[in-house]
Amino acid sequence: MGKDYTPTPHNEAKAGDIAKTVLMPGDPLRAKFIAETWLENPVCFNQVRNMLGYTGTYRGKEVSVMGSGMGMPSIAIYSYELYHFYGVENIIRVGSAGALQDDMKLKDLVIAMGASTDSAYQGQLDVPGHFAPLADYGLLEKAVLAAREKNISVKVGNVLSADGFYNFNTERTRKWANAGILAVEMESAALYINAVQAKKKALSLLSISDHVFTGEELNAEERRVEFKNMIEVALELA
């Protein structure tokens, strides 16, 4: 029998405390909100560094939800441990993103088929070229069907996982838009790379909360409604 690496320095859960499918918002308080709103009998399995995690059931299926923190280094740590130490098979990122294309609207749901990045994180794969981090197609197909059944406006394509939130050079962002990138966020590429390395599955669902070039943005109540739509799509994948 192999060595049990749990708990970890970042997660006090024991082996068996976490479901095979985990939803990961960036904000740990959103993880708490998801657990208390949608899951039956949620139990908190982690409070280390206030990165809250819960396991409960949704329509009879065991599901976990845990915060990832902001940026690729943070989600890389938590998703690596979930895949390698806790037996997690599917991680579904649920977050917000800024639109880059002129035909995109606030409230659109973006499903990240691919995640381009300006990060050096993929260097760990040591491939002789530039690796293209992709979602699991099975999860992606289910998400598209679930969104359409709920009449949610959905776009599927490539997103940018950026290392910087505050952009000193907007012309660089325009170049990503010219390359067909739908939206910008900060985590998906690291998640997809970790899934490939672990031979597991990942998908990012992103709700458009603002438009980078027009300056449009949702107010707090609108963000809450669209967040609900995204979570209900994600839970259909559990």
Tokens of 140: 């992606």
Q: What percent of the chain has pLDDT over 70?
A: 99
Q: What is the pLDDT of residues 77-92, one digit of tens each?
A: 999 999 999 999 999 9
- Is the pLDDT assigned to residue 17 strictly greater than 90? yes
210 is catalytic: yes
- Is the pLDDT assigned to residue 49 strictly greater than 70? yes
Dihedral sign computed on CA atoms, order 99, 111, 192, 88: positive
Alpha helices (H) along the chain: 28-38, 72-85, 137-149, 170-178, 188-198, 220-235
The reported pTM is: 0.96
Spot the catalytic one: 17, 27, 103, 210: 210
When pLDDT is averaged across residues 38-57 and rounded to a whole number, the result is 98
- Given this model, what pLDDT does residue 2 score? 64
When pLDDT is averaged across residues 15-24 and rounded to a whole number, the result is 97
- Is the pLDDT assigned to residue 1 strictly greater than 50? no
Q: What is the pLDDT of residues 101-115, one digit of tens each?
A: 999 999 899 999 999
Q: What percent of the chain has pLDDT over 90?
A: 90
Query: What value does the mean pLDDT of the chain take?
Result: 95
- Given this model, what pLDDT does residue 220 score? 76
When pLDDT is averaged across residues 198-222 and rounded to a whole number, the result is 93
Q: In the structure, what pLDDT confidence band is assigned to residue 73 with cuts at 50, 70 and 90?
A: very high
- Given this model, what pLDDT does residue 182 score? 98
Task: Please state the domain extents for the chain.
Answer: 21-235
Cβ contacts of 94 within 8 Å, gap of 6 or more = 23, 24, 25, 30, 34, 205, 227, 230, 231, 234
Q: What is the pLDDT of residues 130-171, one digit of tens each?
A: 999 999 999 999 999 999 999 998 999 999 999 999 888 888
3-state secondary structure (DSSP) of residue 43: strand
* Nearest by Cα to 53 from 85, 36, 28, 71: 28
When pLDDT is averaged across residues 43-68 and rounded to a whole number, the result is 98
When pLDDT is averaged across residues 32-36 and rounded to a whole number, the result is 96
What's the rounded Cα separation, in Å, for the pair 211 and 168? 17
When pLDDT is averaged across residues 116-125 and rounded to a whole number, the result is 94
- Given this model, what pLDDT does residue 3 score? 84
Say whether domain 21-235 belongs to CATH 3.30.365.10.
Answer: no
